[in-house]
Amino acid sequence: MCGIVGYIGQRNAFDIIIKGLKRLEYRGYDSAGIALINNEGKLNVYKTKGKVSELENHTIDKDISGNIGIAHTRWATHGEPCTVNAHPHFSFSESLALVHNGIIENYATLKENLQSKGYIFKSSTDTEVLIQFIGHIMESNDIDLLTATQLALQEVVGAYAIAVLEKNNPNTIIAARKSSPLVVGIGENEFFLASDATPIVEYTDKVVYLKDEEIVAINREKDIKIVNLYNVETTPEIKQITLNLGQIEKGGYPHFMLKEIFEQPGCIYDCMRGRINMEADNVVLSAVIDYKERLLNAKRFVIVACGTSWHAGLIGKQLIEMLCRIPVEVEYASEFRYRDPVINSDDVVIAISQSGETADTLAAIELAKSKGAFIYGICNAVGSSIPRATHTGSYIHVGPEIGVASTKAFTGQVTVLTMLALTLGKANNTIKEETYLSIVKELNNIPEKMKKVLELNNQIIELSRMFTYAHNFIYLGRGFSYPVALEGALKLKEISYIHAEGYPAAEMKHGPIALIDAEMPVVVIATKNALYDKVLSNIQEIKARNGRVIAIITEGDKILSNIADFCIELPDTIDCLEPLVATVPLQLLAYHIAVCKGMNVDQPRNLAKSVTVE
């Protein structure tokens, strides 16, 4: 959560930084601020409540000159979203300005200590405590900013990515990270700093991903110097980024979310490329081959994830149990990390995360690692913290996901889980050759089937208009479609703010059926799979109570088209691959309802894309 951008070089810092902040707005957007040192050595700080565009308006008549600056777009943790709490924050003497992503857990103790020495605080943030603390160490010991930052961070408990400007040193930015991402971009006589590579990609493809507890001194005239908290220097590992600008822009779509929904056929193709052969009769996930023994000897798999990634995990459980006959448990990372879970050295933990930065998932990985488990990561963001914390894993390769509501990452995660289960099942001899071949072949057809579903967009727009009024929705599914129902409900609630619940269809009669009346839209995934007849009965039960059924059915299903109030027809596929096809209309339904309601689809209230706080 929160996005950080910095620039030092020969160009005007403001323009580069504002553009960068806009690219990072998906990380938080309740307030924003910028600190610049102008050519006369004046440190100017501007902050506003609201989005980056508000900051831009606010600075129209201000001095925005200078070729060094840092900035921030915030997702509030400590203190309400307002100008005072927005970053950057000053040190007591106002000679230092700092932006911060993360949480300083021991801020209250540090603050009390500083207050006892006469320090006064303007904001309610943990961030102001940190910069006042750094300033205090610097001034009371008469040491440089880098050393003061090292000493301060040795005392800090919590997570941080920070960038600091010093009024009296307009040639250097000091930045550091622990459990929150930070990337340095290296250009020609200029450097960039950002929470991820998206603000940098336009200017350079050379980046250095800072590691935990590393501090970088970025000097305009020299180079970058990386040290740890105890001043041990390391050589920067320069990596090349493969992102391109097209991947992080809307490309003619009104929202990133719609673009990302429509990208899915291509994404699934990219995800499978090099992993499924031309003949579509073999899947190779290199991570599985490299660690075959370790994976096949697992007594149990435990999947840890949050939100949409957790829903993908529920599908992964069914796939792995069905095709590999190895028991699988699926845990919310946030619960797992605070229980005392039974984890043994012969367990394999699969951590699923789009951003690769989710704090709870990272903590769950560390806990499982400490108990000797082997960790397999399934991530999207290349070079993020989770892939670095795992023993091995597979990227989903769906490209940057910028809309806050996860769409293409979900189908990418399910695709990788399918390939994982197929590869393991084949190596384990727990899958019949015939079944293996039919799934691999059909997996190859999924991008085309997704395209057919996307052609239903106009029909779904019409449907959405009819349901914009609704205050509640129920989503039902069974088997592989149950997690799809959960995912459909989550998509709707997070972007349209309509209350929505997902249930296994048969659970209705154990309580939720009491909610059904003529006002209640019920979305049922009722395709022609092994549980079709059972779901049909569940639909009859809803119709008998006047519920309004929107059924997701298989093309040509005459029975349901006569019973349901509205039908969305999908191309037929194999049961275990159905989530890849059936999720798409639910994403579109949520999207169009939210658009009809006039909601900010890409940046829904209270949310942020990357949840780096617990």
Residues binding ligand F6R (CB under 6 A): 306-309, 353-355, 358, 361, 405-406, 490, 494, 611
- Going by the DSSP 8-state scheme, the letter that residue 370 receives in this structure is H
Q: Helices 408-428 & 433-454, crossing angle to 10 degrees?
A: 170
Q: How far is the CB of 498 from ligand F6R (least distance, A)?
A: 15
| Residue burial 394-413, b: 16+ Cβ < 10 Å; e: rest | bbbbbbbbbbbbbbbbbbbb
Single-letter residue type at 453: V
Among residues 77 and 358, whose Cβ is nearest to ligand F6R?
Answer: 358
Please choose, from the candidates 438, 372, 394, 25, the residue with its C-alpha nearest in 3D space to the C-alpha of residue 198.
25
- 2 given a catalytic annotation: yes
Helix, strand or coil for residue 536?
Answer: helix
Among residues 135 and 313, whose Cβ is nearest to ligand F6R?
Answer: 313
Q: How far is the CB of 293 from ligand F6R (least distance, A)?
A: 29
Among residues 196 and 494, whose Cβ is nearest to ligand F6R?
Answer: 494
CB-closest chain residue to ligand F6R? 307
Among residues 1 and 283, whose Cβ is nearest to ligand F6R?
Answer: 1
3-state SS track over 83-131 = CCCCCCEECCCCCEEEEEEEEECCHHHHHHHHHHCCCCCCCCCHHHHHH
Among residues 17 and 593, whose Cβ is nearest to ligand F6R?
Answer: 593
Instruction: Tell me the sheet residues that pair with 216.
Output: 175, 226
For the beta sheet containing 191-194, the strands, ordered from the edge strand earlier in sequence to the opposite edge, are: 43-49, 31-37, 68-74, 3-8, 191-194, 183-186, 206-209, 239-240
Helix, strand or coil for residue 226?
Answer: strand
**CA-to-CA distance for 105 and 321, rounded, in angstroms?**
40
Among residues 357 and 569, whose Cβ is nearest to ligand F6R?
Answer: 357
Concatenating the DSSP letter of every residue in 143-191 gives --HHHHHHHHHHH--EEEEEEEEETT-TTEEEEEEEBS--EEEE-SS-E
**CA-to-CA distance for 361 and 593, rounded, in angstroms?**
31
Please choose, from the candidates 586, 597, 596, the residue with its C-alpha nearest in 3D space to the C-alpha of residue 405.
586
Q: How far is the CB of 312 from ligand F6R (least distance, A)?
A: 9
Among residues 318 and 358, whose Cβ is nearest to ligand F6R?
Answer: 358
Q: How far is the CB of 523 from ligand F6R (least distance, A)?
A: 17
Among residues 308 and 411, whose Cβ is nearest to ligand F6R?
Answer: 308
As given in the structure block, the two tokens for residue 483 are 């997690």
Q: How far is the CB of 243 from ligand F6R (least distance, A)?
A: 17
- 306 given a catalytic annotation: no
Among residues 361 and 464, whose Cβ is nearest to ligand F6R?
Answer: 361
- Going by the DSSP 8-state scheme, the letter that residue 577 receives in this structure is G
Q: Looking at 2, 379, 567, 576, which residue is catalytic?
A: 2
Neighbours of 459 (CB within 10 A): 15
Q: How far is the CB of 253 from ligand F6R (least distance, A)?
A: 18
Among residues 132 and 361, whose Cβ is nearest to ligand F6R?
Answer: 361
Single-letter residue type at 561: S
As given in the structure block, the two tokens for residue 317 are 């459980």
Neighbours of 433 (CB within 10 A): 10
Given a contact cutoff of 8 angstroms between Cβ atoms, the answer to whether 313 and 335 are in contact is no
**CA-to-CA distance for 594 and 136, rounded, in angstroms?**
48
3-state SS track over 211-224 = CCCEEEEEECCCCE
Instruction: Tell me the sheet residues that pair with 504.
Output: 477
**CA-to-CA distance for 96 and 131, rounded, in angstroms?**
7
Q: Looking at 47, 426, 493, 609, which residue is catalytic?
A: 609
Instruction: Tell me the sheet residues that pair with 70.
Output: 6, 35
**Burial class, 441, CB count within 10 angstroms (exposed 0-12 / middle 13-18 / buried 19+):** middle
Detail the DSSP E strand segments found in 411-565: 472-477, 499-504, 521-525, 548-554
Concatenating the DSSP letter of every residue in 3-65 gives EEEEEESSS-HHHHHHHHHHHTGGG--SEEEEEEE-TTS-EEEEEEES-HHHHHHHTTTS---
Instruction: Tell me the sheet residues that pair with 47.
Output: 33
Q: How far is the CB of 62 from ligand F6R (least distance, A)?
A: 36
Helix, strand or coil for residue 365?
Answer: helix
Among residues 357 and 578, whose Cβ is nearest to ligand F6R?
Answer: 357
Q: How far is the CB of 413 from ligand F6R (least distance, A)?
A: 8
As given in the structure block, the two tokens for residue 249 are 């822009």
Helix, strand or coil for residue 178?
Answer: strand
Residues labelled catalytic: 2, 609
